[in-house]
């Protein structure tokens, strides 16, 4: 295991969980984030923008590796997404080179595949971005691959949407409606299979690749749950856990898509275009490569991950929709006009 690791986006859901795990394993950690972080034994932090190359270089000096978790979310304004994702990745790689750090773990996303018809989707599937976010993620990977081509040990991890304690985003809408005793809608029959990933499994994968031999680490890996069902089954598990006797209900797919696309154009809904269309078809990736080369064995199914997240949500005070900015995965995204639809469910 490496001795010192820099984690960008260390105040986020993944960054904070990874930091805790590394510290527990005896690894020294330096966290970089725009938000202040509490100091702890073995942990130092720097409040800095990930695009601030001098600040990153200072943080990386003396480190053995960097895990790049910092990124914009799809909910960000379009004009901010590429500068943060691509600009931040470029800055991080330059800082790593300047500081002499040769091991990098880049957290990407299966969004780079766009809306693939090939499922399970393998790592060699072309990058076919379909929106601003997926295009930025794809471009950032291209920047990282050039760094790898120069002989650096660079891992690219492509996780599916990950869930765990503290994760909010759009899932807070499902949790809120379940808690209020409402039915929850799915487009069409809800029989599509959408793979997710437990946060603990993602952290395991990062820790594994940090200590893997260079010829194994310097590669690209899909990460996702090994066990997952349909959207109807996964959402129904939350409604059952709420104990209100509510059900997942089908709504006509085409009218729903047209309505959501209109609301997005009017900036009245957080449900962005790629997500709308992703929910209409099966979406899962091939994780065999990570199993073979990394020994990646996900412990959590979709339902395990979503129910753990729901349990956490129920046990904590939640910020109201009105107060949320939706700028981090720790916050519920504003439901906008979708909150008006509650009266029908």
Task: Give the pLDDT of residue 320.
Answer: 44
Task: Give the pLDDT of residue 281.
Answer: 86
Q: In what order do the strands lie in the sheet with 220-223?
A: 43-47, 28-33, 4-8, 65-68, 103-107, 153-159, 220-223
User: Contact, 60 vs 6, CB < 8 A?
Assistant: yes
From residue 145, give the alpha-carbon distance in Å to each of 150, 210, 213.
9, 17, 18
Residue 49: CB atoms within 10 A of its CB come to 16
Sign of CA dihedral 116, 117, 118, 121: positive
Give the architecture (CATH level 2) of 171-194+227-283+301-344. Alpha-Beta Complex (3.90)
Q: Name the E strands within the chain.
A: 4-8, 28-33, 43-47, 65-68, 103-107, 153-159, 162-163, 184-187, 197-198, 220-223, 248-251
User: Contact, 51 vs 8, CB < 8 A?
Assistant: no
CA distance 27 to 276: 41
Positions of the chain with pLDDT under 50? 320-323, 325
In our burial notation (b when 16+ CB lie closer than 10 A, e otherwise), range 327-339 reads ebbbbbbbbbbbe
Task: Give the pLDDT of residue 38.
Answer: 87
Residues 254-291 have pLDDT tens digits of: 776 666 666 566 565 555 556 666 677 899 999 999 99
Residues 150-169 have pLDDT tens digits of: 999 999 999 999 999 988 77
Q: What's the pTM? A: 0.91
Can you give 65-96 as a three-state secondary structure string? EEEECCCCCCCCCHHHHHHHHHHHHHHHHHHH
Q: Could you state, in order of their start, the residue ranges of all structural domains in the chain?
A: 4-163+196-223, 171-194+227-283+301-344
Instruction: State in words which class domain 4-163+196-223 has.
Output: alpha beta
Task: Give the pLDDT of residue 322.
Answer: 42
């Amino acid at each position: 295991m490496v001795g010192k690791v820099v984690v960008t986006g260390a105040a986020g859901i993944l960054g904070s969980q990874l930091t805790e795990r590394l510290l527990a394993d005896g690894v020294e950690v330096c966290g970089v984030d725009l938000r202040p972080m509490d100091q702890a034994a073995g942990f130092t932090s720097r409040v800095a923008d990930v695009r601030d190359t001098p600040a990153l270089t200072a943080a990386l000096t003396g480190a053995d590796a960097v895990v790049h978790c910092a990124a914009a979310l799809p909910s960000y304004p379009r004009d901010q997404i590429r500068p943060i994702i691509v600009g931040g990745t470029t800055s991080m790689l330059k800082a790593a080179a300047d500081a002499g750090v040769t091991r990098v773990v880049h957290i990407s996303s299966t969004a780079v595949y766009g809306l693939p018809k090939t499922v399970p989707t393998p790592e060699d599937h072309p990058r076919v971005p379909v929106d601003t976010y997926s295009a930025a993620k794809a471009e950032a990977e291209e920047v990282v691959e050039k760094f790898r081509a120069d002989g650096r040990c660079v891992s690219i991890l492509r996780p599916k949407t990950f869930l765990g304690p503290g994760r909010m985003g759009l899932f807070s809408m499902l949790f809120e409606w379940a808690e209020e005793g409402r039915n929850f809608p799915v487009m069409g029959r809800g029989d599509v299979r959408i793979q997710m990933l437990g946060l603990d499994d993602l952290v395991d994968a990062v820790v594994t690749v940090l200590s893997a031999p260079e010829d194994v680490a310097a590669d690209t890996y899909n990460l996702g749950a090994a066990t997952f069902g349909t959207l109807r089954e996964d959402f129904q598990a939350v409604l059952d856990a709420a104990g209100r006797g509510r059900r997942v209900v089908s709504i006509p797919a085409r009218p729903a898509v047209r309505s959501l696309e209109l609301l997005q154009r009017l900036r009245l809904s957080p449900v962005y275009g790629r997500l709308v269309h992703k929910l209409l078809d099966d979406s899962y990736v091939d994780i065999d490569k990570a199993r073979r080369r990394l020994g990646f064995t996900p412990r959590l199914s979709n339902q395990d991950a979503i129910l753990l997240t729901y349990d956490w949500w129920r046990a904590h005070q939640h910020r109201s929709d009105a107060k949320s900015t939706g700028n981090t995965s720790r916050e519920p995204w504003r439901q906008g006009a979708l909150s008006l639809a509650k009266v029908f469910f």
